[in-house]
Amino acid sequence: MKKYLRIFTLGIQQQLQHKANLTAYYLVGMVNPILFVMVWLNIIGTRESINGFTRSDFILYFIFINAGYYVVGGNFYNMIGNEIKTGGISKSLLKPYSILWEEYLVEQSWKLCTLFLVVPMVFLIGFLFKQYITIHFTYIQISEFTLSLVMASFIYALIQAIIGCLAFWLVDIWVLGDMIWIMFGVLGGVIVPITFLPSSIRWLAEILPFSAVYYVPGSILLNKSIHPVADLMFQAGYLFLLSAMLIAIWKLGLKKYEAVGG
């Protein structure tokens, strides 16, 4: 446990040494939600709501999507892929720690540092569109949302780790990583809430794990989930399935790695 805590601490120190990068992430991250909110407010026009989403819902939804990325998201599949391609995982085979956990914790240190920059973004957007925002959360709603957000974070991390481990077999996993992010955008509710997708696509979005990362927590937060307990079970199911997949892929990958003299 101490070695992982040290990895996390060193990761924070490294992130703080690159304050310019953190500021750049903040500025870029601030533009996206403002643009999305302006677009959807223009679409809704004078109507009270669209598909059950009011002006307030759209604002809060895209605040969550963009701020939530710094809690749930981040990319570390490329770091795992690099370790596999360069033979860096050999060190983890000789030491009692997991390279997967190492890269995961390094990414968590980045998210923790950037999370502090997200707070002013949330307040700024709230100030710009305060005339449209109405907030009413219950304790049960907040509890369900918190649990959903935690599971979403692990689901996202498992997907990242699985993509990274495919470097045992694939020459280029970066294209796959980009494709997965597109899937999050279209089928995960990042670009548009899933309820706005055509029915021919919506059913697919509702059964794939991408919706479990952003859309499910967002819908629970906004009280748009018809069956929040069922949504939580949906996330728990994917946690189990993706964990089993990662363990199997990692073991098979190590066998291949050792067979070729990695």
Q: Which of 214, 243, 246, 247 is nearest to 231 (CA)?
A: 214
* Average pLDDT of the segment spanning 60-75: 83
Give the CA count within 13 Å in the CB-facing half-sphere of 38.
8
136 confidence band (pLDDT: 50, 70, 90)? confident
Rounded to whole angstroms, the Cα distance separating 93 from 154 reads 24
Collapsing DSSP to helix, strand or coil, 126 comes out as helix
Average pLDDT over residues 133-157: 92
Question: C-alpha 197: how far from its chain's center?
Answer: 20
- Cα–Cα distance, 201 to 211 (Å, whole number): 12
pLDDT of residue 184: 92
Give the pLDDT band of residue 258 (cuts 50, 70, 90): low
Give the model's confidence band at 219: pLDDT under 50 very low, under 70 low, under 90 confident, else very high: very high
What single letter denotes the amino acid at residue 74? G
Please check the confidence at residue 99 and state whether its pLDDT lies above 80: no
Give the residue carrying structure tokens 């002013």. Answer: 120
Spatial distance between the Cα atoms of 252 and 159, rounded to a whole number of angstroms: 17
The pTM score is 0.86
What is the total count of domains within the chain? 1
Question: Higher pLDDT residue, 162 or 92?
Answer: 162
Q: How many residues are listed for the chain in this entry?
A: 262
Per-residue confidence (pLDDT) for residue 1, from 0 to 100: 59
pLDDT at residue 151 greater than cutoff 80 = yes
pLDDT at residue 107, as a whole number: 72
Beta strands in the chain (DSSP E): 49-50, 53-54
Residue 159 has pLDDT above 80, yes or no: yes
Residue 259 pLDDT: 61
Structure token digits, residue 13: 């120190």
What is residue 166's predicted lDDT score, i.e. its pLDDT? 93
Containing structural domain, residue 68: 2-259
Q: Is the pLDDT of residue 14 over 80?
A: no
Mean pLDDT of the chain: 83
Contacts of 71 (CB under 8 A, 6+ apart): 111, 115, 149, 153
Instruction: Decide: 63 and 125 in contact? Cβ < 8 Å.
Output: yes
Q: Is the pLDDT of residue 86 over 60?
A: yes
Q: How many whole angstroms separate alpha carbon 187 and alpha carbon 206?
A: 8
Contacts of 137 by beta carbon, 8 Å cutoff, 6+ apart: 221
Q: Which residue has the higher pLDDT, 99 or 62?
A: 62
